[in-house]
Amino acid sequence: MGLYERYLASRIRRHEIDPPEHVALVITERDLLERGAYETLVEFFDWAFEYASRVTVYVSVLDADAVPPLRRELESIDAPREVAVRGPDDSAPADAPIQIGIGLGGKHEFTSAVRTLAESVDAGDLDPDAIDDEHVERHLVFPSEPDLVIKTGAERLSDFMIWQSVYSELYFTDVNWRDFRKRDFLRAVREFCNRSRRFGR
């Protein structure tokens, strides 16, 4: 770790606010086509697990044909923790320290959860008045709420976890994924520690 990275890490340790327990990253399929993209992703996992216990990565995809090859690459990535990869056709919850979504938009995920609840109501297995937040979250592919969401390259989230990230701290950086380094990650964590989270209040 370089001098500046050590300085940022020391500033994080001095904060009264704990670092994020769940870190999310939003990148694009084009980012993963850059040279060294997967190596940077593995490094990102190492950086994140110095503070967090869970990492979620959302890869926004414009070309649906890109999903299968991306999935194969990400399922075989040399990650430091167990990985669960989910795509547009998946409905099973991702329960692993590292969760990766490829082209699985938040609107689609939420709609699928609502459809499942509606089917349960229609079958007489669920009282509509009993439906609450927990019922919805139980049917999401990514049920955990990230504390910190990092978006590289542009200030938009690309339909990312619209239910789960409602109270997340969002950090946008104009640094592109190909240039993203540990100092950029530490800046995001430091910014998180500088904020006063209100959780919608």
Q: Write the pLDDT tens digit of every residue in 45-92.
A: 999 999 999 999 999 998 889 999 999 999 999 999 999 999 988 888
Mean pLDDT of 195-200: 63
What is the percentage of the chain residues whose pLDDT exceeds 70?
A: 95
pTM above 0.85, yes or no: yes
pLDDT surpassing 70 at residue 35: yes
Domain spanning 19-194, CATH architecture: 3-Layer(aba) Sandwich (3.40)
Q: Domains of the chain: which residue ranges?
A: 19-194
Crossing angle (nearest 10°) for helices 182-194 and 37-48? 40
Q: What is the pLDDT of residue 50?
A: 96
| 152-193 residue pLDDT tens | 987 666 677 888 888 899 999 999 999 999 999 999 999 999
Identify any residues that bridge with 143 across adjacent strands, giving them in sequence order: none
CA–CA distance, 171 with 189 (Å, rounded to integer): 9
Answer yes or no: are the C-beta atoms of 91 and 112 closer than 8 Å.
Answer: yes
Question: What 3-state class would DSSP assign to 35?
Answer: coil
CA–CA distance, 82 with 17 (Å, rounded to integer): 28
